[in-house]
Amino acid sequence: MEYYSPDDILLGESRIQVTFKHKIRNFGFLGPRPKILPENRRVEVPYFLVSFLLRNGHCELGEGFLKESLLEDIRAKPSTVDLRSVCPYFFYLYAMLLGEGAGLPEFFYERVGDYSSLVLKKTFSEDDVWRLDMVERSLVVGSRRRFQRFCAFLVARH
């Protein structure tokens, strides 16, 4: 996490709609809501709390969390999807909330394969990685730095 990273702040402020499976008591501390929530009530909660609630079977993700149009774009050509506009930490958040059945590893592998040529590129700028989420971006930038060090080592040796 970067110090005062706007992406981290926005992720921390993100709220996700869930539907509770049973009555919830003492939930009012998260905002101007009643203290007791009835069964099957839809509520928007912070992303970090959603993970806990899903793992323990207290709720289900609300409809529209993962839009069908986004899924179609992902299936068609993963590297063309601008993940930064969907969520800066797409893989982190969606893997945490959707679990293993979402097919995210295959999506990730294909995107990394498509963007791996950036490591070898002579000139590199922010425009090259604008579609990548933070995980992909750190992977490409870190790999590029290591490759440049390796090239400098080879040049110094000869």
- Per the confidence metrics, is the pTM higher than 0.75? no
Model confidence over 89-114: pLDDT tens digits?
787 777 767 766 667 788 888 888 88
Instruction: Give the residue range(s) of CATH 3.40.5.50 domains in the chain.
Output: 4-59
Question: What number of residues does the chain have?
Answer: 158
Model confidence over 24-53: pLDDT tens digits?
776 665 566 557 777 888 888 887 777 788
User: Residue 144 — very low, low, confident or very high, per pLDDT cuts 50/70/90?
Assistant: very high
Assign a CATH topology to domain 4-59. Ribosomal Protein L9; domain 1 (3.40.5)
Mean pLDDT over each residue of the chain, to the nearest integer: 79
